[in-house]
Amino acid sequence: MTSDDSTPSAALRTEALEQLLVERGLVDPAVVDGIINTYEADIGPLNGAKVVAKAWSDPDYRRRLLEDGTAALGELGFIGTQGEHIVVVENTDKTHNVVVCTLCSCYPWPVLGLPPSWYKDPAYRARVVREPRAVLSEMGLDLDDDVEIIVRDSTSEVRWLVLPQRPAGTEGLTEEQLVPLVTRDAMVGVAKVAAP
């Protein structure tokens, strides 16, 4: 609800509209779920994976990406709503970045698609700031004690994208071969890219 509690939130209005369209036989809920899944799992994260693979393969592009993420992403056509100002940060052996939006769920849609449900969950949003190492461990990522964890808080003005470390054993792979290795979770910083 809004601050005066008289107008339903956009999420409630959207849900009501979807329900009405389904009840009238105008929309198949399986099709809607399929579209959402495509944007969550394929289209958005695939864009980001292409960016990461290019940065791993092209040192000049990597430099441009880290200097001005928005411009470098625009070179590949990844611009638009929720992508007006994206800052890219790089994970290293000693520094690990993880992204959160503590106020809502600001997220770089052009390169990651729709945010996953856990990203929008109030527990993740609150805990990753206070105890990032514990949260990452619960999500399956255990980091050495000497690795500094930096929590990046996305806002409506700045959205963050993590450039994950390139895994060992991928030196001979092409950009096209690297793309399938890169996951959305690695670009948010809650996972690492696994070696093939």
Catalytic sites, residue numbers: 101, 104-106
The vertex-39 CA angle with 143 and 10, nearest 5°, equals 100
The length of the chain is: 196
What does the alpha-carbon distance between residue 174 and residue 177 come to, in Å, rounded to a whole number? 5
Query: Up-side HSE of residue 188: CA atoms within 13 Å toward CB?
Result: 30
What does the alpha-carbon distance between residue 157 and residue 124 come to, in Å, rounded to a whole number? 21
Q: Which residues are annotated as a binding site?
A: 101, 104-106
Q: Which residues are annotated as a binding site for Fe(3+)?
A: 101, 104-106
Closest CA to 101 of 156, 29, 143: 156
Q: Which residues contact 119 (CB under 8 A, 6 or more apart)?
A: 100, 101, 105, 107, 188
What is the number of other CB atoms lying within 10 angstroms of the CB of residue 75?
Answer: 13
